[in-house]
Structure 1
């Protein structure tokens, strides 16, 4: 080092300054067969700076290992003579910073500069995601705090039993003896569960068909819709698609003044269920009814395309869509109705000609590509006249059982025969039970279409 200082004039020719000038920036010469000028920005040290420490002071030698490492890095980029900024690596064990001594005016420290930019190394802490049970096996999670585990069975209050004898014993014992529900109550609740069973796979379409007028097609649609809506939590709608002015809305007794034609006209403006509610009528069981037009000339214009458009809207807001079709099976809307059908219901009266027409309807459907729907269909034997029937219902039931999945009988009810609005609560118990059995049978058939894995 002293030899170089004694020949300061020669060093100037090689580009080495005779004085550092300042501690911030120092010009350093590099001799490799040619001369290059490199500006090095060294960090300014402060008393509070503990990250970087420069211990090279006057009279001290440069660390040999650091010099060798820098020389190797420089050799890799030897051809370049660019000016680079060097950020020194932090010392492994930082020592308190101190202000270096003022360098002598005639002494210059030469260091080799690596070509690549050097950045401080940062330590990375690996992050791991663990379940609680992975490292704390003796601790339980909140999902283990179930009612079956925490509640004392001896202290849990059971619901009040239904049934004359069960309720009487429960009352006189001061609520200490609870035998549970009676046989009828258990059967009713079991039927409720069957009707209220969840449906999967989107809206289900159930058309009600007949080839002869006056057999009770609209009545069956009304009873089925009320039984479904009364027991289910989702939405049920009955649509009157009769092109000859249907009377389905008159069976509800609550009219909105709107018809299916209004829904077709405003189809592009439907944005939510509130828009549908302004058009449909709703009865006490929460059954929604979409009425047909009262003018036969207008209703005749209700076509397959109109039905598809209405069905598409209804499928967005309802789980079950019942369709009260017109008389016959070849009218203007029947094609689209059968295409969308998930479950068919055929209504037959208790007479010879009505029974034959119902059986011929099944034959026509089988011959026109609906054989599978026929095998899963339901035939409803509707008693529309009082008194004893000449036709033996058991023989009709035996015949249709060979062709369809189920047969349900609906007894005569004077409340329905009056032709006025139907109140589900005012029906005879036998009629209400038959409607609920029909509803449970329909739901079971619909659930079979999309079984839950």
Structure 2
């Protein structure tokens, strides 16, 4: 319909066309205007026909038209036009239909992937799992990790006998116990970063094996690790740590305090410690009965500050009880607490009260991460259920170790790891591995 017909009101009669308006360049007259009923049909044409995208200013010409007349006047042409428009819309996106863009894209390509799943140029790259891992040390490159078990001869037992009897042709490898032992040793060897670590071994009752546990733990760490490990007897009274460790002691912790300003090298501080027969350096307490002044908190802090310059791990064999002056300094410096309990009713109850004491005095971290040692080295009283003792402490801490009875430890003399029963040695190595694991997690 022309612009003029659109602006004409329905009650007005159409004007007669002038000759100048309908004449073409050849002088012939144009076709007579369509009857009134045709114009009325144009007036009520469907709204979608007026909104068909064309990309041009004029109407779309489709099949079934003649002499440039709109195709919607011809039913056959209108059907063909509708099919063409329908096909065109199926190959266009909604934005292209509204904008009249002639570029056609298949509809299934536009909706193949949801908007959120489409790749974006600004999306961060996927993290590399190898880069996110903590860097490993040289100690992690163990033979158990890199070598095939069949390439190594078994350590002992019938597996080793079979290996030798067949001239190495049959190798069933080591047992699970041997592999577990190697894993524990590798865990103990793990280097520690962040300065000297302090481990406090304590108990509220004497005679439960606190000094024995300190000696065994120190020897196990010193035997396996490559750095320096020391044990300090911080008992305010007469301690027995030097009696359980091999070697002769010429100096004490008090003498080291007096001469601390003269000690400026490892060679000098090692003169104050005994280490004969073991790599563990032991700093003894006073043995002179005439000494009236006890080893106090100030002495402990001075000694440990000096030892922290030359040792990687310092064990403290604290005195009995929790209220003496040395205990305050040792707990402030402690990274891990090893709580020793005997295998009797009163000893187990006092050890559990020690955890409660730590919690009540603001050291919930030490109580939560404490390692409890149930010492059976002095023997097991008749009728005591050690399983129930272990279950009780397992409800309060994460790690509980049983130290079984051993005739060598029951002697009360110098301790040697080589003389321990296999089960006792395994328990000691497990304790050392747990301590190192806790030290790795403290900083």
* TM-score bracket for this pair, using the shorter chain length: 0.5 to 0.7
The 5 A counterparts of 1:343-422 are 343-387=336-380, 389-422=382-415
Residue in 1 that maps onto 2:291: 298
The 5 A counterparts of 1:50-61 are none
Kindly indicate whether the alpha-carbon contact (under 8 Å) linking 1:282 and 1:288 is maintained by their aligned counterparts in 2.
Answer: yes
With over 3 angstroms needed to count, the CA separation of the structure-2 counterparts of 1:334 and 1:355, relative to structure 1, is same
2:254 corresponds to 1:261: yes
CA distance in 1, matches of 2:426, 2:293: 36
Q: Which of 312, 318, 331 is the aligned partner of 2:311?
A: 318
Shift in Å, 1:218: 0.5
CA distance in 1, matches of 2:309, 2:273: 15
The 5 A counterparts of 1:105-254 are 158-254=151-247
Normalised by the length of structure 1, the TM-score is 0.62
Shift in Å, 1:381: 0.8
Q: Which of 310, 317, 333 is the aligned partner of 1:340?
A: 333
With over 3 angstroms needed to count, the CA separation of the structure-2 counterparts of 1:331 and 1:398, relative to structure 1, is same
Shift in Å, 1:160: 3.0
More helix by share: 2
CA distance in 1, matches of 2:319, 2:261: 26
2:431 corresponds to 1:438: yes
Structure 1 stretch 383-392 or stretch 201-210: which is displaced more? 383-392
Shift in Å, 1:177: 4.3
Say which SS state the counterpart of residue 248 (structure 2) adopts: coil
CA distance in 2, matches of 1:299, 1:241: 16
Say which SS state the counterpart of residue 282 (structure 2) adopts: strand
Q: Which of 309, 317, 325 is the aligned partner of 2:302?
A: 309
CA distance in 2, matches of 1:299, 1:328: 20
Q: Deviations over 1:341-399 (max 9, x none)?
A: 00011111111111111111111111111011110001111114335542211111111
Kindly indicate whether the alpha-carbon contact (under 8 Å) linking 1:243 and 1:299 is maintained by their aligned counterparts in 2.
Answer: no
Consecutive unaligned residues of structure 1, counting only runs of 5 or more, are: 1-147
Residue in 1 that maps onto 2:68: none
Shift in Å, 1:234: 0.9
Shift in Å, 1:181: 2.5
Aligned length: 299
CA distance in 1, matches of 2:171, 2:315: 41
Q: Which of 272, 275, 294 is the aligned partner of 2:268?
A: 275
With over 3 angstroms needed to count, the CA separation of the structure-2 counterparts of 1:260 and 1:161, relative to structure 1, is same
With over 3 angstroms needed to count, the CA separation of the structure-2 counterparts of 1:172 and 1:362, relative to structure 1, is same
With over 3 angstroms needed to count, the CA separation of the structure-2 counterparts of 1:155 and 1:355, relative to structure 1, is closer
Kindly indicate whether the alpha-carbon contact (under 8 Å) linking 1:244 and 1:300 is maintained by their aligned counterparts in 2.
Answer: no
With over 3 angstroms needed to count, the CA separation of the structure-2 counterparts of 1:340 and 1:156, relative to structure 1, is closer
CA distance in 2, matches of 1:312, 1:269: 14
With over 3 angstroms needed to count, the CA separation of the structure-2 counterparts of 1:417 and 1:300, relative to structure 1, is farther
Residue in 2 that maps onto 1:284: 277
Kindly indicate whether the alpha-carbon contact (under 8 Å) linking 1:285 and 1:424 is maintained by their aligned counterparts in 2.
Answer: no
CA distance in 1, matches of 2:342, 2:249: 32
Consecutive unaligned residues of structure 2, counting only runs of 5 or more, are: 1-140
Shift in Å, 1:203: 0.9
Q: Deviations over 1:195-246 (max 9, x none)?
A: 1112121111001111111111101101111111111111111100001110
Say which SS state the counterpart of residue 232 (structure 2) adopts: strand
Measured on the aligned residues, the alpha-carbon RMSD in Å equals 2.3
CA distance in 2, matches of 1:174, 1:279: 52
Kindly indicate whether the alpha-carbon contact (under 8 Å) linking 1:245 and 1:299 is maintained by their aligned counterparts in 2.
Answer: no
